[in-house]
Structures are given as structure tokens and as C-alpha cells.
Amino acid sequence: MAGRYAPRPTRTTVRGGHPGVPAPVAGSGPRRNADDTGRTRVWAPPGPVDPGLVLGPLRRGPGDPTFRAMPDGSVWRACRTPAGPGTLRVAPRDGDVEGIAWGPGGEWLLDRLPELLGGADRPDEFVPRHRVVAHTWRRRPGLRLTRTGLVMESLIPSVLEQKVTADEAYRAWRRLVRRFGEVAPGPAADGRRVPSLHVMPRARDWVLVPSWEWHRAGVDDKRAATVLRAVRVAGRLEQASGLAPEAARARLELVAGVGPWTSAEVVQRSHGAADCVTVGDLHLPGVVGYALAGDRDVDDDGMLELLAPYAGQRHRACRLILLSGVAPARRHPKMPRTDIGLL
């Protein structure tokens, strides 16, 4: 790894032995599927890294049961890795970044800690071309593009977000993961009885979700069918993490119901694809057009034209624009909530 990265030996530690990790609370918490022994890795990044900023795109709403951002600056993730479920706590420590992991997937998560925090990203290749982008770039030196190496954990929530409000999609993800996933290994992020982190269901468990549970989660038949088609070929889709972003998108789009919008949302997270722009989004073209040209009535073609000077780094430019807070005032009502008989 370029820069100051020098892997240090992974060491085993006991819960409660790290600042910010809650000590055991007698009799509290749900029954867990792994003990509370954690393993640690410290990574020296080649430049500033803000874990909350880097990992923020992985969070699916404020109640995401797989993600927790804590006041001390640490970020907790519960993942289903090829090695099994795992929980990872990431926190800055004296200029370095410390990762503590639990569960069967813990070693897998620690092995990929640098890539998760943007170690494979190349922010030095980015050249701001607009004042709003340059200003945000200076204010956010810790921004890097994450690369999770996990496809399904980004694909399923992205499908749930198709053509509905964010609140609806977040609600569906929260309900389905808590109901059909499993409690994450390791300690609770906040040391309290509830809420605990959950790992999303296995591919075969998604197939077993009854039709009425999709209905209760507010997921229409089209999105539910897309998820079911995807999980039936989950092994092939996960292998796409080893492909180039465009090849990975082509494989994802072989699944009926997965189009350019969804595939872009996935590879931005799974591959850290710096040039992958989300087209077909309801709001992004207007935000980009307003920030770069003062024109809110921009379509996808106009957005891509405005982003042309950032070729190779267009996704990073979009992230900076969204982080700038520069956006046109809303002049239309919000997208209405769908009503399929929510309970």
C-alpha cells in the first residue's frame, strides 16, 4: 500500500480493553452468536481520513440496524462477509485508524480495513474545476471513497430505494434486516440492551421471506421480485467485486430490475468507483446543475456535460457537491409515499 501504510500484527484483545468500547453489562443485551473477544488492527493512512465521512454512504438512514455512528467519532458496522457475520468498530487514534472486529468475519474485515477507509483511493489525482467544489475539497480533507468489496450488502438496499422516498426505503431495510437477519457478534455499540446491531439475512433467508412480510415492510412486488432474482445468483454477483467497475455493472444489470441507477449506487460502494455517476436520479442532476452552472433544470445529459472536466473523478465531484450544501430550493412537493397497505 502506498503512503505511510504499514500493516501491524493483528492482536487479540478482550472487550472493555479499548477506549470507547463498552465494558460488559451483567445480564444485559440479547443473546449473541459469538463471544465478545475482539481482534484489533491499526492502520496508518497516507493522509487525513475521517471515518464518519468515508463510511457515511454505507448508512441507510438514521435507524440503519447495520450501521452506527457514535459521538466519540467511531463507526460500527455489521456485515455479512464471505467468512461469515462480523462486526467492525473503526475509530481515529493519534493520527492512525484503529479497527476492532468480532465474529467469524472479523479477520476478513480487518484484512480489508485500508480499502474500506479509502486506502486504494487516489484523491491526489482530483483537480477541482469549480469554486464550490474547491471550497468543499479544502473543508473536507478526510474524504476518501470507500471500497467494501461486498456487493449484496449494497445491492439489496439500493433495490429497495428504487422509485420511492428515502424514508420508505429506510423503513423497509430496517424492518427486514431486524426481522430476518441476526444479531451481530460482539458488544452492543452503545452498551445498552437495545438497539443492537444486526447482520443482514443470508441469500437463502431472503428467499424465505413471506410475501406478506414484504407487504408489511412497504415493498411492492416489483422490488421484492428484483431482490429475489438477485439473491438466487448472489454468488455470481459477489464475484463482481473482483471485476472492474464497468464490468461489475454489466454483470449486475443482467438481473432483471437492476438498471444503471442501481448498478452505479452499488459499485460506488463496493468498488470505490471514483468515476461512476448515478444517472436516472430524481434530484442529482438539478443539484449538480445548480451548483456548477446556476441552472436547476438540468437533465442527465446536461449533468454529464457539466461533469466532463472531472473525467475519471466524476463521482468524487458529485460527493463534494452534495457535501457543499449548495442546492436549489424545493419548488415541488416531495414524492408521495406509496400505499400498499402498510400496517
- As beta bridge partners, residue 183 has 198
pLDDT band at 189 (very low <50, low <70, confident <90, very high): low
Residue 209 sits at φ, ψ, to 5 deg, of -65, 120
Tell me if 257 sits within 8 A of 159, measured CB to CB.
yes
Task: Give the lowest-confidence range in 224-228, 283-287, 329-333.
Answer: 329-333
Residues ≥6 apart with Cβ < 8 Å to 206: 156, 180, 227, 228, 231
Q: For 26-85, how does the pLDDT look when each residue is reduced to its tens digit (9 = 90+)?
A: 333 333 334 467 999 999 999 999 999 999 999 999 999 999 999 999 999 999 999 999
Predicted confidence at residue 7, as pLDDT, reads 40
pLDDT band at 339 (very low <50, low <70, confident <90, very high): low
* CA gap 41, 205 in Å, rounded: 32
With b for 16 or more beta-carbon neighbours within 10 A and e for fewer, the 249-281 pattern comes to bebbeebebbbbbbbbbbbbbbbbbbbbbbbeb
DSSP string, 154-182: HHHHHHHTTTS-HHHHHHHHHHHHHHHSE
- As beta bridge partners, residue 85 has 80
Cis before 114? omega within 30: no
Q: Which domains does the chain have, with CATH numbers?
A: 11-127 (3.30.310)
Q: 10 Å Cβ neighbour count for 21? A: 21
Closest by Cα among 166, 231, 201 to 85:
201
**Mean per-residue pLDDT, 162-183:** 96
- Indicate yes or no: pTM above 0.75: yes
